[in-house]
Amino acid sequence: MTNQPTASDFRLPHARPAQSRRDFLQRAGGGFGALALSAMLAEEAAAGAIIEESARKPHAFGKAKSVIFLFMDGGPSHIDTFDPKPVVNEYAGKPLPSTVKRVITPMGVSENPLLACQRTWKQYGESGIPISDWYPHVAQYADDLCVIRSVWGDSLNHVGGVAQMNTGSILGGRPCMGSWVTYGLGTENRNLPSFVVLLDSDREPPGGNRVWNTGFMPATFQGTKFQPGRDPILHLNSPDGITAQRQSKKLEFIDRLNRHHAEIRPGDSELEARIKSYELAFRMQAHAPEAVDLTQETAETQELYGLNDKATEAFGRNCLLARRMVERGVRFIQLYSGSGSKWDAHSKLEQNHSGLCKSTDKPIAALLMDLKQRGLLEETLIVWGGEFGRTPMSEKGDGRDHNPYGFTMWLAGGGVQGGKIVGSTDDFGMHAVDDRLHIHDFHATILAALGLDHTRLIYRHQGRPERPTLNEGYVCEKVFA
């Protein structure tokens, strides 16, 4: 008798039992999450690709096309340079009056006596802006300066202060201003980096290279650090015996390998940045040597910037390089003076600031004059200042402590109205009191000079619309003509 087939004879090999409802929801949820992730990665990859496009239109008309940010690393004393406070000298040796709000410093609540300012002050230009004898050359261009005496920030220490003045946040991980500007406006010269960082020593500022990094943006928007000295860009020239044709073939082969690698990693912005850096490096081999060759400048120009004086040579060289970068369409150039917090004068303020002011005064004045003569100042925004100012109280008897509560920055060119003072601090230079500008406001104003609306300059990160001013800030219209 033939056996009748049973249900087990029709069962497919390795068949899985039916999924439970919980399994189905878990698997479906993971799938939808992957779809969202894929979209976000594609968005970042697309954003990273736009750096190679030509210059893009700003949101509105802005006279400035480029920015030169002169960063005094460590915090210059505003009450000894651009914000005279004669009352401080009247109270020298005495504690800050009880009518003035006590402040917290890195050393705690400060009860130290006030330290007199030893500077002499004069009023310069038709505007009569008072500037101390530490900046006599810059003072000759007082009518080009918009001195903002009421900037304030949130950090008491250098790492947070430098991060905030560069990125808007006291915490690392956000794009810096140079990255936002190049993201918003693109580049005008595909043969040079659109964002350049120039240090005056081998030391980096607090926080290191993250203060010119891109944070959550694609790495293509990060700053390119030039080396201090006579050869700011290393390895530009090919080794002996390597022809341009051979170098081109080599880079083409590397590019094919990189792009094959990138096809299966669409969200890797570091890899995309590396590919673009190879392409840029090859173009720079033909164009950058001429751009950084200061021997092309006349002896008079080199002397104007102080290249013949050891005290001014390093910063003067960088100021001259900045002018040459602007001429060639570089979008954002940041120059560090005293890189590594050398302006941090907790003691021996006179010795510290005398040397640093001397090293920067003549080169900055030369930069202003040179840009004016070449018709470039109106389309170049110059920014001067540090991460914060310094207190009127003494520290260690002859120094000053950090002061983020009210300090001075100044602007020139780029449509800014010169010969003007905006805002003020109290009689002791401790707190901003009139037209107070938080660093977010200061950044919004810089972007406005370039025609960028800080509320519309958006980069979407993890589904969130991120802005350079962290959804805060306003433009100080008093700055503009």
What local confidence, expressed as pLDDT, does residue 49 receive? 42
CB-CB contact of 411 with 67 (8 Å) = no
Backbone φ, ψ for residue 242 (5° rounding): -100, 110
Contacting residues for 331 by C-beta, under 8 A, at least 6 apart? 65, 66, 67, 178, 181, 182, 185, 186, 187, 188, 194, 195
CA quadruple 184, 174, 198, 145: dihedral, nearest 10:
70
How many Å apart are CA 60 and CA 432, to the nearest integer? 30
What local confidence, expressed as pLDDT, does residue 190 receive? 80
How many Å apart are CA 118 and CA 359, to the nearest integer? 19
Pinpoint the alpha helices (H) of 50-157.
Answer: 86-90, 136-139
Q: Is 372 helix (H, G, I), strand (E, B) or coil?
A: helix
* Nearest partner of 370 among 324, 438, 310, 423, judged by Cα: 324
Distance of CA 170 to the CA centre of its chain: 14
How many Å apart are CA 190 and CA 169, to the nearest integer? 30
What local confidence, expressed as pLDDT, does residue 36 receive? 41
How many Å apart are CA 355 and CA 363, to the nearest integer? 14
How many Å apart are CA 414 and CA 394, to the nearest integer? 37
Distance of CA 209 to the CA centre of its chain: 11
* Nearest partner of 367 among 451, 426, 306, judged by Cα: 306
Q: Which two tokens stand for residue 78?
A: 């505003």
- DSSP letters of 70-100? EEETT---GGGTTS--HHHHHTBTSBPPTTS
Q: How far is CA 178 from CA 214, 345, 357, in A?
A: 9, 28, 25
CB-CB contact of 381 with 394 (8 Å) = no
Strand partners for 424: 434
Task: Classify domain 56-230+311-479 at the CATH class level.
Answer: alpha beta
What local confidence, expressed as pLDDT, does residue 232 receive? 78
Q: What is the DSSP letter of 212?
A: G
Contacting residues for 291 by C-beta, under 8 A, at least 6 apart? 192, 324, 325, 328
What local confidence, expressed as pLDDT, does residue 154 receive? 97
Residues in the chain: 481
pLDDT by 10-residue block (mean), the chain, 481 residues: 48 49 54 42 43 69 96 98 98 88 64 95 98 98 98 97 98 95 90 93 93 91 86 65 70 74 68 65 68 93 97 97 96 97 98 98 98 97 98 95 97 98 97 97 98 96 94 96 74
Q: What is the DSSP letter of 336?
A: E
What local confidence, expressed as pLDDT, does residue 111 receive? 81
What local confidence, expressed as pLDDT, does residue 140 receive? 98
Q: Is 57 exposed, middle or buried (0-12, 13-18, 19+ CB in 10 A)?
A: exposed
Query: pTM for the whole thing?
Result: 0.83
Amino acid at 130: P
Q: Which two tokens stand for residue 123?
A: 């009023």
Q: Quick one: how many helices (H) and strands (E) in the chain?
A: 11, 19
CB-CB contact of 449 with 381 (8 Å) = yes
